[in-house]
Amino acid sequence: MIGAVKTFPEGFLWGAATSAYQIEGSPEADGKGPSIWDTFTHTPGTIADGGTGDVACDHYRRWREDLRLLEELGVNAYRFSIAWPRIFPTGGGHSERRGIDHYSRLVEALLERGIEPLVTLYHWDLPQALQDAGGWLNRDTTERFAEYAATCFDCYGDRVGWWGTINEPWIIGLLGYLHGLHAPGVKHDVRGEATCFHHVLLAHGRAVQELRAAEGRARIGIVCSLAPHYPAGDDPADIAASRASDGYVNRWFLDPVLKGSYPQDMWERYESLIGALDFVRDGDLVTIAAPSDYLGVNYYARRVMRAVPGQRPFPWEVVHGDAPRTQGGTEGAPMTGAGTEITPHAFTDLLVRIRDDYGDVPILITENGAVFPDEVHDTRRVQFLHDHLAAVHDAIEQGVPVRGYCHWSLMDNFEWALGYAQRFGLVHVDHETQARTVKDSGRHYARVARANELVGVEE
């Protein structure tokens, strides 16, 4: 049972989130060109269980059925991404009418049902032709992105009210160029990582400029994966490591977008690792800081940090569960099915911190969710959802302007390098038959979304 009624602000957006490559399948339909994820998943050894997105949830063909799921979930918003290579099969030049029309029908059908489309332009499926020309390490890719964004504004701008530019710049560089776990699968390239970061941020700024030039009235913002940081203990080295890692994960993206400068500490760290950051040119920061309308926040877990002196490239590590409660720790925190700690209070800390450090930028929670292996009776996800929504509500009560919440994910889907075993959905998908079944968490979410307030968790 909960105490005082926790009502959300009027007009709060209740959404579910997906991305194109994770659900669509049909990689060659209607003239689509290959993306780096088509290439990567077809490279042996990259994906657990050898999975690919060739079929995924077959959503490109079953999207009408999936709209009914959104209605069952009671949401008034749906966050999805456009596959760039469906619009420009080779990244630029010739655009593909059939791909454009597909998303046009989807947007139309959402609006008919009173569901606000929240559209992400880049959720990682870079056209392979652009990768062949250097991908995000090639500055010209930012111009191709601006062209693609302008085309989308032109085609859908009369109906789409919320645009997200780039999904999770940190993950793109970290997993794409440092760990090699995501496309394009490059390892140990710190310069590549930093170059990629800068270019995706620049691409974000260019898209914002394009929207303003088109006099679009829609809102636009970047979507960042953010993690509140806590030192593992009172050791000054851990406190310094926590601050430094915060520079790498959070401030490296928030500062340029919202303040127009890179954080000095992290800038110096990169310089000491890779020499001059000569890919940052005069005027770039003005472009990156082109005023956005909101910040998209993806929150999954906190980071509890311990110093690892001398470790390269970064002298810190994430540890589990042993931070004092006063520093965000939860001794004995429950775990998700993916082994990450469940610490909803850290979500409140994160949201309050964004407001304290960056001002009253409106916030849209663009992703939050967890892996639980339970199938349809997913009691743990119901609890997770309840606790994280309560955490968002706490932040709103403290004056943080949160405009909406999207749960990751609408349905179980292709979880990148982890394949199909990791289930994040409010809707269960049988990957053999494509049968969809709303989980208990989906029913709970529908009750909350329809009431616009937290409702009790049913036993």
Asked if 294 touches ligand FCB (CB under 6 A), the answer is no
Instruction: Estimate to the nearest angstrom the gap between the alpha carbon of 361 and the chain centroid.
Output: 18
Of 8 and 84, the one with the shorter C-beta distance to ligand FCB is 84
DSSP letter assigned to residue 326 = G
Asked if 167 touches ligand FCB (CB under 6 A), the answer is yes
Q: Determine the Cα–Cα distance for residues 220 and 41; give it in Å rounded to an integer.
A: 31
Asked if 424 touches ligand FCB (CB under 6 A), the answer is yes
Of 15 and 216, the one with the shorter C-beta distance to ligand FCB is 15
Q: Minimum Å distance from CB 257 to ligand FCB?
A: 17
H/E element, 447: helix 440-451
Terminal alpha carbon distance of the chain: 10
Q: Which of residues 315-374 bind ligand FCB (CB under 6 A)?
A: 367
Asked if 416 touches ligand FCB (CB under 6 A), the answer is yes
- 268 carries an active-site annotation: no
Q: Minimum Å distance from CB 409 to ligand FCB?
A: 7
- 367 carries an active-site annotation: yes
| DSSP output for 378-439 | -HHHHHHHHHHHHHHHHHHHTT--EEEEEEE-SB----GGGTTSS---SEEE-TTT--EEE-
Closest C-alpha among 150, 153, 169 to residue 161: 153
Among 46, 225, 336, 348, which residue interacts with ligand FCB (rule: CB under 6 A)? Answer: 225
Among 8, 145, 262, 408, which residue interacts with ligand FCB (rule: CB under 6 A)? Answer: 408
CB proximity list for 186: less than 8 A, separation 6 or greater:
176, 177, 180, 192
Of 367 and 378, the one with the shorter C-beta distance to ligand FCB is 367
Sheet strands (E) in 82-134 = 116-122
Sheet strands (E) in 232-379 = 295-298, 303-307, 316-319, 363-367
Asked if 168 touches ligand FCB (CB under 6 A), the answer is yes
H/E element, 220: strand 219-225
Among 58, 394, 415, 440, which residue interacts with ligand FCB (rule: CB under 6 A)? Answer: 415
The pairing of strands 316-319 and 303-307 is antiparallel
Stretch that binds ligand FCB, among 63-71, 110-118, 165-173, 394-402 (CB under 6 A): 165-173
Q: Minimum Å distance from CB 407 to ligand FCB?
A: 11
Stretch that binds ligand FCB, among 41-49, 106-114, 164-172, 262-270 (CB under 6 A): 164-172
Q: Which residues bind ligand FCB (CB under 6 A)?
A: 19, 22, 167-168, 171, 225, 298, 367, 408, 415-416, 424
Write out the catalytic residue numbers.
168, 367
